Structure 1
């Protein structure tokens, strides 16, 4: 026990342990090496789901809508809120339609 308490011997043991760890670590091979085609399936699936794969580089299509047509559509939409719909009497819902619990057997 007395020999292990010397600082020189402890330093040598630590050094040998470090060297052995480095040597064994250098001989170890990687557990996982990526395949050259890794991820190719996902890229193919993403490309197959695109509507227009050349969309980022192509010019936008002309949809045939000009300013006059768009303005008239917005005007019609806004005018649809000027006249309120007739109120619905909730007491008459389902009365006289022939559909109800008595009609289903």
Structure 2
């Protein structure tokens, strides 16, 4: 009975929200604004997506190289300490229940 009550309550709530004049006017105005939007063509959308993904990839590679470069510079100077993990410690970490 609880699922049935939830379904009926959801239907009533959805009907009530749509039939409230202020909200219905908002939905109508939103639909009108959506019709005014000039949507990009599929070709342009694909080109823009490729630009974004390649930019993200190149930034990732750049940040990795810079981070690795700082590690190579700071570790020999003694500023950056990265502890070595033995094989036994690694096994303990892998077997640990999270």
When the two structures are superposed, what TM-score results if normalisation uses the length of structure 1?
Answer: 0.29
Higher relative contact order (CA 8 A, sep 6+): 2
User: Which structure: larger Rg?
Assistant: 1
Name the structure with the higher helix share.
2
